[in-house]
Every structure is written in C-alpha cells, then in structure tokens.
Structure 1
Amino acid sequence: MPSPSEGSRGQGSRERQSVITPGLLRGWRLPEREGGKETRGTVLVIGGSRNTPGAVLLAGIAALRAGAGRLQLAVTESSATALSIAVPEAKVVGLPETAEGSVSGDVPEHLLRLVAEADVVAVGPGLDSVPETIAMLRATLAEAAPSTAFVLDAYALGALSKQPGLLKGEERPVVLTPNLVEAGHLLGEAPGDDLAAVAVTLAGRYRAAVTLHGHVAAPDGRTWREESGDVGLGTSGSGDVLAGVAAGLLARGAEPAQAACWASFAHAVSGQRLAPRYGRTGFLARELLDEIAYTIGTVG
C-alpha cells in the first residue's frame, strides 16, 4: 500500500484511490507551528458582492477554525463595515464595486499590498462576475510571491475556465474546490459519473490539487477518496466553508494535496457530527464552522 503522501496513482478509477480515513491522516500529520499567530500564516479571502458578503465570512472563519494565524477579508466597499463587525478577528478592507454591486476587477493598491504579504490567497467566495474576476485574478497572481498559495472557488473557477492560461507557468501551490457545475465548466463538458477521473484530469490540466465531491487528485496523478460526505453538505455556503478550511490548512504549511484531503475529511465529518441534531439535510453551512476545529483535532 502507498504511504498517505504518495496516495494511489492511476486514471482516477475508484479502485485505484486511497480512502481518506483518520488512520491515513494520522500518517500524514499537519505541520505544527510553534510561536505566535504569524507562524501559522496569513489568509486573505477576496470575494463577496453587495448581495453575498456572507460567503467571505464563511470562508474566513473556516480558515481560522482550520488553524490559520491571521485573517484578512476583502469585499465590496458597501459591505466592509458590516463584515468587520461580524468578524472582529479579521482585518477587513473594502474594494471598488461596479454599479451592479460586483467586486470590480480594477484592483486597488491596498489590496495588492495585502496580496504581496499573504501566505494564502483564497479567491471566489461570493463573487458574481466572471469578467471582473478574470481581471482580479490576473492582477493578484502577478503580485503574489511565488510561494504564496491560492485557493480558487466559485466564480474564480469560472474565470479560470474562461482563461485557463491564468495558471500557465505558475509553479505556486494551488487548490481548486469545484462543485459539479464548476467542474463541468473547467472540463469543457458535462463531467459524467466518473468524478475520480474528472478530478485527475482537472488536476493535471491546471497543475493544482483538486477536491471534487469527495474525490481528491494531485497534479502528479495521486488520488484519494473521502467517503463520509452526505447529502446535507449540498447546502448554500457549504463550498465556501470547504475552500476556507483548505486555505487555513495551507497557511499552517500543508502541501496542496494534503490540505485538500484534510479539508475534504473535516468538511464531511463535520456534517456527520451535525446530522444527529438537525437530520441529514437540516443543518446550515455556518453550523459546520463550529465543528471544524474539533474534527481536525480529534483525528489524533
């Protein structure tokens, strides 16, 4: 059997995947950072719109629950004050917005300074304009240090599907967190039933770790499968939580595939913990947040 960090290699079939279990994760322990909050990394979440600032809140708090040391949130100017009150643990900055309330692709200098200093940049939660997101991604990728990790979610994945060259030549750590619709956009066709194969294809095409509906793949062909997820995770905001957990784990020093595996497990098992109280489909994405740290901590 391969070691956890090796995973299983192949064309993505279920038989060739390593199952993500507590035992596998115990053999692939997350980095432990000693010292102050700076040692556990800074996560910058860029997203939201006038109508969806809550997605940034979910992703940001998830990053802290996963162990990130510092959190910065960048949202539309009209949402920044309310979000800074809702998340007092974070530095919150406002961004220019379009007349429709989308984050503008005209990236301000104060955001570029934050990007240059961040350890992880998560882009996408709550964004609602592909053209504006393309411009933002191009600017932030150009400004970020080569070692800065990126997590791309939601409309950032839509932007990537329209401009796949955004990651060309990038050797930085990247995690993609598509849902089935976003996977179809990235793939250029309906994903079909073999999601393991789709994850492998996307990981190779975009040179990124991919977590797709419980299937995780690395660019080098390693594959894993998370089997704890249930229907309740298919709820509004759940994907924002997953992206935030991945960002927080990257900030702690996890490699992209490791962050994707641990995040997929923490996301799924947190839903399991809520099911006895709320049923399989009655819990909310915000309720996952309070289970994340406990789930990660009890892997042991």
Structure 2
Amino acid sequence: MPNPSEEVITPRLLGDWALPHPGGGKESRGTVLVAGGSRYTPGAVLLAGVAALRAGAGRLQLAVAETTAPALSIAVPEAKVVGLPETDQGSVAGDVPDALLELAGQADVIALGPGLDNIDETAVLVRRVLSAAASGTPLVLDAYALGALSKEPGLVADHAGHVVLTPNRTEAAHLLGRELADDLAREAAELAERYGAVVTLFGHVAAPDGRRWRDENGDPGLGTSGSGDVRTGIVAGLLGRGADPAQATCWGTYVHAAAGRRLGPRHGGTGYLARELVDEVAATIATV
C-alpha cells in the first residue's frame, strides 16, 4: 500500500525541479570519478561511468583493477583510466596508489563500489578515498562500498549531507543490521536518518531531513545484471552537473525506471540489458 507521506515522482514534479542547465564547457558539468571493478567485474565501472556521461557529466575518470585498466581505457575512450593494485584473488586492494587519491581530491563527484568484491579491502579503499576527497564533495556509495559502510557506520560521518546510498534489499538489510520490513518507504527513511544520506531503495527515495518520494515506473525488467550500476552512474552524473543529492537521486531513480519502461516493449518486458538502459538515459532526461 502506498505510503501517504511520500510524494510521487512525476514528470511534472521533475519539471518544476529543473536540473541545472549545462554550461558551455565540460568543466562546468563536473568531473566524476568511479572507483571499483575487480579483475572479474570491470564492466560494473564501465556501466556506471558511461551512464554518468549520458546523464550529463563533463569529464569521467575510472579506477579499476590494474589487469583490466588497458581494456577499459579502450572500451571507454572518453575516460581517464587508472589501474589499482590487486590481491592474488583479483580483488582491488585497499592500499590504493597516490594517483587515485589525487584524482579523488580533485573530483567533483565520487562513486565508490561498482564491481568490488572484498569487504575488508573495500573498507580500506573507501576510508582512504574519503580522506582524500575535498570537503563537500558529493559521494555515491553502491554495492560492496555499502557493505563496508554497514561494518563501519562512521565512514561517511564527515560527509553527512553530501552522500547518496543506492542499496538493494540485501545491502539495505546489512546497513540496518536486520531483515527489512515490508514498508520500504519507512526503511529508506530510517537509513537516511541513520547515515545522514539520501537513499534510493526500490523506487523509494528518502532524505535525512525527512522528505520522501516514490517512483512508480519500476518493472521486473530492471532486475537485470548491472542495472544498479547504471542507476549509480546516472545519479553521479546528475550530481556532476550541479544537482543537489536529493534532486539527483529523485531524477536518477525516475530516469533509471523510465528508461526500462522505454525498453520493455522492444524486449519482451524483461529481455533488455543494462548496457541498453545506458543508451536510453539522455533521451529519457530530455523528454521529462
């Protein structure tokens, strides 16, 4: 049953909450840094990064396991790609190089987590990157970065008000330290209050100041591999072009779901791929 405290995200609501107008140069649309991607999952960073560009980011920087960095630099020629040290198992090692910390200190937006696969190493990476980030830099945490946050809730304490969390059900349960209740609107609101962050959870968006929204466009087709990475990238790209965390998250949640709606009829409802969602992002934003 819909929660009456939530405002439904509609094209009219978004039209009245217009995104910052892109400036003439790429610098005015922000530099987005996406860090993640183990040896076996560099595609998560690719999806998030290209989605950020499609959402309007001006410049893109990607950081992935060093064995996959050359291939990713070819796959995404628009991005600067940095290789990160790996464990013997192919996970990104937490003791990241100074080159990544320098990028983090200069980035306008940082997205952490897509494609990472080791909680302990991720916690070290997140701690180091956040310590290097400039005060007030918007952050988007996804996947294993959320797992690291669940074990160290203070990781984002110094960045309250500038953080977006994009959990799935399992990650949300870890962040809350218990099983999720049926009222996802309430659960999103609790997460927002606990972590001082804007949260998007299965179409429910909550801000730490108590505001809540609900998107009603989601469908089963969005439950495909890599879909969450695309949503993370959309939000990061909108932050890069100057949207505030709540605005970027509401717009990103809507655009992600509406892109799926556009693809559904062409692919039998559930047959579209996350990479195809990316290709719908710019057009979906333009038609709101």
TM over 0.5: yes
State the match for 2:280 in structure 1.
291
Kept in 1, the 8 Å contact 2:136–2:159? The answer is no
Counterparts of residues 208-219 of structure 1 (less than 5 Å): 208-219=197-208
- Residue 183 of structure 1 pairs with residue 172 of structure 2: yes
Shift of 1:60: 0.2
Segments of structure 2 that go 5 or more residues without pairing to the other structure are none
- Residue type matched to 1:61 in 2? V
C-alpha distance in structure 2 between counterparts of 1:155 and 1:95, whole Å: 16
Kept in 1, the 8 Å contact 2:22–2:56? The answer is no
- Residue 21 of structure 1 pairs with residue 5 of structure 2: no
Question: What TM-score, normalized to structure 1?
Answer: 0.95
- Residue type matched to 2:225 in 1? S
Kept in 1, the 8 Å contact 2:160–2:197? The answer is no
Find the partner of 2:88 among 90, 95, 99.
99
Shift of 1:172: 5.0
State the match for 2:260 in structure 1.
271
Q: Secondary structure at the match of 2:4?
A: helix
Q: Secondary structure at the match of 1:125?
A: coil
State the match for 1:5 in structure 2.
none
Percent of residue pairs identical:
67
CA deviations 1:214-248 (Å, max 9, x no partner) are 00000001000000000010110000000000000
Question: What TM-score, normalized to structure 2?
Answer: 0.98
Kept in 1, the 8 Å contact 2:53–2:237? The answer is yes
Find the partner of 2:58 among 69, 79, 84.
69
CA RMSD in angstroms comes to 1.1
Shift of 1:168: 1.8
Q: Secondary structure at the match of 1:267?
A: helix
State the match for 2:213 in structure 1.
224
- Residue type matched to 1:146 in 2? S
Question: When the two structures are aligned, how many residues end up with a matched partner?
Answer: 288
Kept in 2, the 8 Å contact 1:146–1:172? The answer is no
Kept in 1, the 8 Å contact 2:156–2:163? The answer is no
C-alpha distance in structure 2 between counterparts of 1:196 and 1:279, whole Å: 29
- Residue 244 of structure 1 pairs with residue 233 of structure 2: yes
Q: Secondary structure at the match of 1:205?
A: helix
C-alpha distance in structure 2 between counterparts of 1:169 and 1:256, whole Å: 16
Shift of 1:170: 2.5
- Runs (4+) off by over 2 Å: 169-172
Shift of 1:136: 0.7
- Residue 139 of structure 1 pairs with residue 108 of structure 2: no
Kept in 1, the 8 Å contact 2:55–2:238? The answer is yes
Shift of 1:107: 1.5
Shift of 1:34: 1.6
Kept in 1, the 8 Å contact 2:161–2:196? The answer is no
State the match for 1:9 in structure 2.
none
- Residue 31 of structure 1 pairs with residue 16 of structure 2: no
- Residue type matched to 1:175 in 2? V
- Residue type matched to 2:181 in 1? G
Q: Secondary structure at the match of 2:134?
A: coil
